[in-house]
């Protein structure tokens, strides 16, 4: 048995976090690899039009958005593993369908089926089952990093795989990765003794109303919707711009994305450190959205040579990666105590809706007015986001904690009020059915000893 208060992750926790991060990475790799190649290689498919290529790029987001929360709820009832297995097999089936397609409609059907394997909520719930409270943030950060790395790898590997094996080969590789995910869950990820059902790991019906009425959470939800809409729409136009304006053959696009992503990864780090250390995340967010807006205008007016397009891509991905990393952190800061799981569920749904909207909108705009119209449309969306985000309050710089309560503490009706009177405690809510209290604390101001004394004033002798 490992010490429940140990500061280090146990072997089983490390296996769980690493295994689930790999499952996420393989699945997202399969989703993202299509982005840099579908606009160019998809033109060879029967019935392909710009609008339908855009639909194929974003189609997975529709089913993902619709099914993500229901899959999470089902996993609470029948178990995490069956839902994850079924989701990965559905994803693999979608990949096989797309691999065998000789028309754009077959690829769209495959992408829709891929999205129906919506396992994100079930994976995060399983991670909560397998990790202790004090290590959960670290474990979730591992999954967040795996998604970021998979995006970067997909931008490079997608064009290389497609050059070697065609679109069909790309989808076969995606199917294989989903099956590897099944093997990882079966062989590497430990089994949970009993599933936890708490408000940090999944959507709670009781918290849904408050989440959907929270102005700053809604601003952030619109932000991730806009960000992924801009990304998908830009990938309708950017690969074509590299061919038409930059004269770069589609087989060579991988080095542009590799350059852009490597430079942007290191370029965004100082801004994240500044925002967190100086507590100026709102300023960082607004600056990144403004840079994204300028990038789209730059692509529209000045992206007429390969050099200009590469420079634009580097700056675009710096702003994109900065926003992609910052928004989940802002959600967890802004969400009320006991509402983080629900807030993240709504946020993820917004993200997938944005992907669907961006692909469809990008394809339609391209059909109406070519590359320039797509970049103008993305710039308008950036401007709208900027107008909405500027009214957001500076987020509280707090950490979420979930602490178990003794039966005596649960009967104490005034516990939450007394906790709120402590310096550094921003929010507190007792959830009797879980036997726990959720609190939001500013770790720079909090006296942890006073907090623990209030929650458990007379600990039993060991």
For the stretch 271-295, pLDDT in tens is 988 988 888 899 999 999 999 999 9
Q: For position 307, which CATH number holds? A: 1.20.1250.20
Distance between CA atoms of residues 223 and 327, nearest Å: 8
Average pLDDT, integer, range 153-181: 94
Say whether both 290 and 245 belong to one domain. yes
Query: Which residue has tokens 């946020």?
Result: 347
Model confidence band, residue 236 (pLDDT cutoffs 50, 70, 90): very high
Residue 5 falls inside a structural domain? no
pLDDT at 78: 87
Residue 43 falls inside a structural domain? yes
Residue 297 falls inside a structural domain? yes
Say whether both 358 and 442 belong to one domain. no
Range in 93-102, 241-250, 324-333, 399-408 with the lowest mean pLDDT: 399-408
Of 72, 117, 70, the residue nearest 93 (C-alpha): 117
Say whether both 312 and 357 belong to one domain. yes
HSE-CB at 289 with a 13 A cutoff on CA atoms is 27
Distance between CA atoms of residues 13 and 3, nearest Å: 12
Tell the burial category of 265 from Cβ atoms under 10 Å away from its Cβ (0-12, 13-18, 19+). middle
From 364, 389, 414, give the residue that closes a domain.
Answer: 389
Say whether both 171 and 135 belong to one domain. yes
Q: For position 439, which CATH number holds? A: 3.30.70.100
Of 379, 243, 387, 251, the residue nearest 316 (C-alpha): 379
Model confidence band, residue 197 (pLDDT cutoffs 50, 70, 90): low
Residue 132: φ, ψ to 5° = -80, 160
Distance between CA atoms of residues 25 and 18, nearest Å: 10
Strand partners of residue 402: 438
Say whether both 293 and 184 belong to one domain. yes
Is a pLDDT exceeding 70 seen at residue 195? no
Range in 12-16, 227-231, 352-356, 372-376 with the lowest mean pLDDT: 12-16
Say whether both 236 and 150 belong to one domain. yes
Average pLDDT, integer, range 307-333: 92
Residue 461 falls inside a structural domain? no
Query: In the numeric block, which tokens belong to residue 229?
Result: 């809409």
Distance between CA atoms of residues 345 and 323, nearest Å: 18
pLDDT at 341: 81
- Positive or negative torsion for Cα 352, 141, 120, 279: negative
Distance between CA atoms of residues 444 and 70, nearest Å: 38
Tally the domains of the chain.
2
Say whether both 304 and 439 belong to one domain. no
Is a pLDDT exceeding 80 seen at residue 187? yes
Model confidence band, residue 460 (pLDDT cutoffs 50, 70, 90): very low
From 361, 389, 417, give the residue that closes a domain.
Answer: 389
Is a pLDDT exceeding 90 seen at residue 211? no
Model confidence band, residue 125 (pLDDT cutoffs 50, 70, 90): confident
Is a pLDDT exceeding 50 seen at residue 462? no
Instruction: List Cβ neighbours of 25 (8 Å cut-off, separation of 6 or more).
Output: 146, 147, 149, 150
CB count, 10 Å around CB of 4? Answer: 9
The residue range of the domain holding 43 is 11-190+198-389
pLDDT at 2: 47
Residue 119 falls inside a structural domain? yes
Average pLDDT, integer, range 165-181: 95
Is a pLDDT exceeding 90 seen at residue 206? no
pLDDT at 92: 96
Strand partners of residue 441: 399, 425
Say whether both 441 and 293 belong to one domain. no
Is a pLDDT exceeding 90 seen at residue 54? yes
Say whether both 248 and 356 belong to one domain. yes
Average pLDDT, integer, range 151-169: 92
Is a pLDDT exceeding 60 seen at residue 137? yes
Say whether both 372 and 408 belong to one domain. no
DSSP state of 75: H
Residue 27 falls inside a structural domain? yes
Q: What's the mean per-residue pLDDT of the chain?
A: 88
Say whether both 333 and 424 belong to one domain. no
Q: Give, in degrees to the nearest 5, the angle at Cα 458 between 452 and 462.
A: 95
Instruction: List Cβ neighbours of 381 (8 Å cut-off, separation of 6 or more).
Output: 226, 229, 230, 233
Say whether both 308 and 368 belong to one domain. yes
CB 195 within 8 A of CB 313: no
């Amino acid at each position: 048995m490992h010490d429940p208060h140990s500061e280090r992750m146990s072997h089983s926790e490390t296996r769980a976090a690493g295994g689930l991060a790999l499952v996420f990475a393989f699945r997202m790799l399969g989703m993202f690899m299509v982005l840099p190649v579908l606009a160019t290689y998809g033109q060879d498919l029967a019935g392909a039009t710009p609008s339908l290529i855009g639909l194929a790029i974003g189609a997975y987001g529709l089913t993902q958005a619709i099914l993500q929360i229901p899959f999470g709820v089902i996993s609470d009832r029948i178990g995490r593993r069956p839902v994850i297995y079924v989701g990965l097999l559905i994803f693999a089936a979608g990949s096989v369908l797309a691999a065998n397609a000789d028309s754009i409609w077959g690829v769209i059907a495959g992408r829709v089926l891929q999205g129906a394997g919506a396992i994100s909520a079930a994976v995060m719930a399983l991670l909560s089952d397998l990790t202790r409270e004090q290590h959960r943030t670290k474990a979730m950060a591992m999954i967040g990093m795996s998604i970021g790395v998979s995006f970067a790898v997909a931008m490079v590997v997608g064009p290389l795989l497609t050059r070697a094996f065609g679109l069909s080969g790309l989808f076969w590789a995606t199917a294989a990765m989903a099956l590897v995910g099944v093997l990882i869950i079966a062989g590497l990820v430990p089994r949970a003794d009993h599933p936890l059902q708490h408000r940090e790991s999944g959507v709670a019906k009781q918290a849904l109303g408050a989440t959907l009425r929270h102005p700053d959470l809604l601003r952030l939800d619109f932000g991730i919707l806009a960000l992924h809409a801009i990304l998908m729409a830009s990938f309708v136009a950017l690969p074509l711009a590299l061919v038409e304006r930059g004269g770069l053959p589609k087989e060579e696009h991988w080095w542009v994305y590799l350059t852009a992503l490597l430079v942007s990864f290191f370029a965004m780090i100082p801004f994240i450190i500044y925002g967190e250390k100086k507590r100026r995340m709102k300023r960082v967010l607004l600056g990144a959205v403004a840079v994204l807006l300028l990038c789209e205008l730059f692509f529209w007016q000045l992206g007429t040579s390969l050099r200009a397009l590469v420079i634009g891509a580097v700056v675009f991905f710096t702003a994109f990666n900065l926003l992609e990393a910052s928004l989940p952190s802002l959600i967890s800061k802004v969400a009320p105590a006991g509402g983080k799981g629900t807030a993240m569920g709504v946020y993820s749904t917004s993200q997938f809706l944005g992907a669907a909207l961006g692909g469809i909108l990008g394809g339609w705009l391209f059909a109406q007015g070519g590359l320039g119209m797509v970049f103008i449309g993305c710039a308008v969306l950036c401007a709208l986001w900027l107008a909405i985000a500027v009214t957001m309050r500076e987020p509280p710089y707090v950490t979420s904690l979930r602490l178990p309560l003794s039966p005596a503490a649960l009967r104490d009706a005034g516990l939450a009020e007394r906790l709120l009177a402590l310096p550094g405690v921003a929010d507190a809510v007792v959830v009797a059915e879980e036997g726990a209290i959720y609190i939001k604390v500013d770790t720079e101001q909090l006296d942890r000893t006073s907090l623990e004394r209030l929650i458990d004033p007379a600990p039993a002798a060991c």
